[in-house]
Amino acid sequence: MKKIFGIVVMGLLLNFNANAEIKLIEKKVIDQGGNNRSMVVSLICVDGYKFVTLYDKAQYKADAVSGTSSITQMFMRSTDKNSFPARC
């Protein structure tokens, strides 16, 4: 009985689906001059918090992502010098 209960509990834990609401707020392409490379900077909202993403446009393809990309959460500073995540 303990094994069946353990299997049911583990099955429920492993089958949990999490969904996040993601919205694109702003997207800009930054040209880096004569070397024919440009970076794409996007401001996105994930579940009410702001994030900044960055990737190299030359290395990004629609069917596969190659190269380096980054995502960073934005923070705000309050009047008493404490920081907290920026809300959308």
Task: Give the chain's count of helices (H) and strands (E).
Answer: 1, 6
Q: pTM for this one?
A: 0.64
- Nearest C-alpha neighbor of 66 from the set 76, 56, 74: 56
For 23-58, the pLDDT digits (tens) are 999 999 888 776 667 788 899 999 899 999 888 776
* Rounded Cα–Cα distance for residues 53 and 64 (Å): 17
For 53-72, the pLDDT digits (tens) are 888 776 655 444 445 678 89
